[in-house]
Amino acid sequence: LFIHTTTLKVPVLARRAFSSSARQLKNRVPEAQKLFQADNGLPVHIKGGTGDVLLYRVTMTLTITGVVSVEFWLMRRSI
């Protein structure tokens, strides 16, 4: 369904927000490639900084806690 913007009486400011020109964005891929390909001895899953380290530790803690909990309840119910 195609409705022309003039038939909707869209204000001028709203029409400018939906322009056909593309935004000019800086290509940050080469910077990220340098960061993640650097030979600094860190695993790739924590090279992103503090947020990655925190996410990794929380994930590992929840995984280990879940596995231990499941094993505990399986052992308890099997007796």
Neighbours of 79 (CB within 10 A): 4
Q: Mean pLDDT over all residues of the chain?
A: 86
What pLDDT is recorded for position 18? 63
pLDDT attached to residue 7: 60
Percent of the chain beyond pLDDT 90? 67
Where exactly are the structural domains of the chain? Answer: 42-79
Instruction: Tell me how crowded residue 77 is: count the other CB atoms within 10 A of its CB.
Output: 7
Q: How many CB atoms lie within 10 A of CB 42?
A: 13
Does 37 have pLDDT greater than 90?
yes
Is pLDDT of 31 > 70?
yes
Which residue matches tokens 């650097």?
38
- Asked whether the predicted pLDDT for residue 28 surpasses 90, the reply is yes
pLDDT of residue 22: 74
